[in-house]
Amino acid sequence: MADAPIANGLFHHNNTTPPEHPSLLSLFSLKGKTAIVTGTGAGIGLAVAQGLAEAGANVALWWHTNKKAIERAAEIEQKYGVKCKAYQVNIKNAQQVEEAVNQAVKDFNGRLDVFIANSGIPWTKGPMVDGPIDHYLDVVNTDLDGTYYCAKAAAAHWRRQKIEGTDIFGNKLENFRGGSFVATASMSGHIVNIPQLQAAYNAAKAGVIHLCKSLAVEWVQYARANTVSPGYIATEISDFVPQETKNLWKDKIPMGREGRAEELKGAYLYLASDASSYTTGADLVVDGGYTLP
Catalytic residue among 201, 222, 270, 290: 201
Q: In what order do the strands lie in the sheet with 58-63?
A: 84-88, 58-63, 34-38, 114-117, 179-184, 223-230, 283-286
Nearest in space to 44 (alpha carbons), one of 246, 282, 250, 228: 228
149 noted as active-site residue? no
Instruction: Kindly list the distances between the CA atom of residue 85 and the CA atoms of 7, 58, 167, 195, in Å, as whole numbers in the listed order.
Output: 42, 9, 19, 40
User: In angstroms, rounded to a whole number, what is the distance separating the alpha carbons of residues 229 and 227?
Assistant: 6
29 noted as active-site residue? no
Catalytic residue among 205, 265, 268, 273: 205
201 noted as active-site residue? yes
Catalytic residue among 119, 180, 186, 229: 186
**96 with 90: CB under 8 angstroms?**
yes
In eight-state DSSP terms, residue 28 is T
Nearest in space to 224 (alpha carbons), one of 173, 177, 287: 177
Give catalytic residue positions: 186, 201, 205
